[in-house]
Amino acid sequence: MPIPKKEFGRTGHLSTRTLFGAAAFGDVSQDDADRTMELLIANGVNHIDTAASYGDSELRLGPWMETRRADFFLATKTAERTYDGAKREFERSLQRLRVSEVDLIQLHYLVGEAEWEVAMGPGGVLEYLLEAREQGLVKYIGVTGHDVAIARMHQRSLERFNFDSVLLPYNYPMMQNEIYRAGFEEVLSMCKARNCAVQTIKSLTRRPYLAGQRTHRTWYEPLTDQASIDKAVHWVLGNEDVFLNTVGDITVLPLVLDAAHRFEARTPEAEMQALMAEWEMEPLFV
């Protein structure tokens, strides 16, 4: 069956619920990127999420955006906190992506108190992005982050500005943290009330890498067998209010897409508990 779709918040865009997390293009050849793009198109994926700081990702997407821009909702991110820095970085992103505009620009990893004040204040990145929106360079503005603290910071960000999307971690092990779970649910409630899209990351986290045992381009050890990926993906998709940003490794990506095609219902609690025990799963952030 086709991968489910859902309106991406108030944008009205009917996005596949598995958004392509283009961090996976940070350190791959153009040939590998081309094969992956063909895979995404074959699977109907129509939403791409990249960032200025994702290595060569924007460059790898550029040839495809130049010719197939209309086929994708295109999102990128800026990690700059000031007006001038964000302007320079976003203009560079447009050049690298070979486009004149993007659908969504996001304040990348906005977690720290001091940088939050700069970003949201006079002369900050938000001031520039509002100007870029007026100029037609971007349609929508979002905010992203991870760590346990991000749920609280997203609440603060949403109270300051009516963002069109948020992005934060969401997987079964992390939701066993009562503090994070309460914060996540509050963010979700705020977003539902505002019709703000909720993107989730780290769905396949098994645990932090053990020293010297990095096996994938993800910065956490991922689940890698189809049966386990099915359970993790179906658990996330079982929350009908969120999107799942795919894994940051192109070798694991096909398994995620395969799982998404077969989604019917959320993985039961008992099966997720058994999965945690079997793979000794741990939260990535504590």
pLDDT at 64 (0 to 100):
98
Query: What φ, ψ does residue 147 adopt, rounded to 5°?
Result: 80, 160
Instruction: Spell out the per-residue pLDDT of the chain, length 286, in tens.
Output: 999 999 999 999 999 999 999 999 999 999 999 999 999 999 999 999 999 999 999 999 999 999 999 999 999 999 999 999 999 999 999 999 999 999 999 999 999 999 999 999 999 999 999 999 999 999 999 999 999 999 999 999 999 999 999 999 999 999 999 999 999 999 999 999 999 999 999 999 999 998 778 888 898 999 999 999 999 999 999 999 999 999 999 999 999 999 999 999 999 999 999 999 999 999 988 8
Other beta carbons less than 10 A from residue 179's beta carbon: 11
pLDDT at 217 (0 to 100):
84
Q: What is the pTM of this model?
A: 0.97
**Which CATH number among 3.20.20.100, 3.90.870.10, 3.40.50.300, 3.30.40.230 corresponds to the domain 5-279?**
3.20.20.100
Distance of alpha carbon 272 from alpha carbon 15, whole angstroms? 27
Cα dist. 215→125, 173, 218 in Å? 36, 21, 8
Distance of alpha carbon 235 from alpha carbon 27, whole angstroms? 29
Residue 107, strand partner residues: 78, 143
221-222 and 205-207 strand pairing? antiparallel
> Where does the chain show beta strands of DSSP type E?
5-7, 14-16, 18-21, 47-49, 73-78, 102-107, 138-144, 165-169, 197-201, 205-207, 221-222, 243-245
pLDDT at 191 (0 to 100):
98
- Decide if 242 contacts 200 (C-beta within 8 A): yes
